[in-house]
Structure 1
């Protein structure tokens, strides 16, 4: 019976099995290269796909406003709907560019999309929600119901 792993070193001393655990396996070696050899900036942007657009949510006395930075889109690219008190905002775009000359033909295409969802508070008047898109900013206005706008103040006399 032959042994594939040597059991003695050059000096003839027996090598224990625990010494073999000190050698890195291929998986841990590769992970170490990715984790330590490349900067975290490189790895955070590598093959991560489309990111979600930045969102600000403001709460005023009369309404909530969702402000979303989505430059480069058209109004027709957006799909905004409400289902079961969940507001969904999504967009998808496709681009295609083809250039031909005597020496080459070049065709480039791309596809990008995102979807963001938000739970709408029960105090929002669903029938009056409006959206507008201007200079790369999508604003969605969610008016509060009339009864929630006015806060009734009750004065209590001390007797």
Structure 2
């Protein structure tokens, strides 16, 4: 018996140009990927910016987060388990390998208060905003 995965939401031929390029350049004749791009959500409220990366299976020690000259770079690696003990894999859809994502951040953040936390497969980076100084002056009409 041959095990075949069926997934109607992910067709053999990608439905976007970007998906087609990813499939063409990243899938190397059935070998696992060496690099991948985790999904990212970016949000903002009145006090901070928040970046969330979906990277389940990565350990905290495997992340590197740097903020240099207004460029935030998040990198890491998801390692594939080497224990195969009698298992024959018919499909491996989990993305393994290294990743790196970079973002230019606004100038209005408090660099010394940037915080990164990893929980339940989500890396959450909080970039607090500086307080806006309201400059108010009474101007005399002459």
The answer to whether TM tops 0.5 is yes
Q: Paired residue for 2:104?
A: 119
Q: Paired residue for 1:93?
A: 78
Correspondence 1:7-156 to 2 at 5 A: 39-41=12-14, 44=20, 45=23, 48=26, 49=33, 50-95=35-80, 96-97=82-83, 99=85, 112-146=97-131, 148=132, 152=134
1:82-117 Cα offsets, whole Å, 9 max, x none, are 1111110001133322648xxxxxxxxx95110000
Q: Between Structure 1 and Structure 2, how many residues are aligned?
A: 109
SS of 2:112's partner is helix
Measure the CA separation in 1 of the matches of 2:78 and 2:45.
Answer: 33
**Larger proportion of strand:** 1
- Larger-gyration structure (1/2): 1
1:73 is displaced (CA, Å) by 1.0
Ranges in structure 2 where 5+ consecutive residues have no aligned partner = 1-11, 27-32, 87-94
Greater relative CO, 1 or 2 (CA 8 Å, sep 6+):
2
Please provide the CA RMSD for this pair: 2.9
Ranges in structure 1 where 5+ consecutive residues have no aligned partner = 1-38, 101-109
1:63-96 Cα offsets, whole Å, 9 max, x none, are 0000111111111110001111111000113332
**Larger proportion of helix:** 1
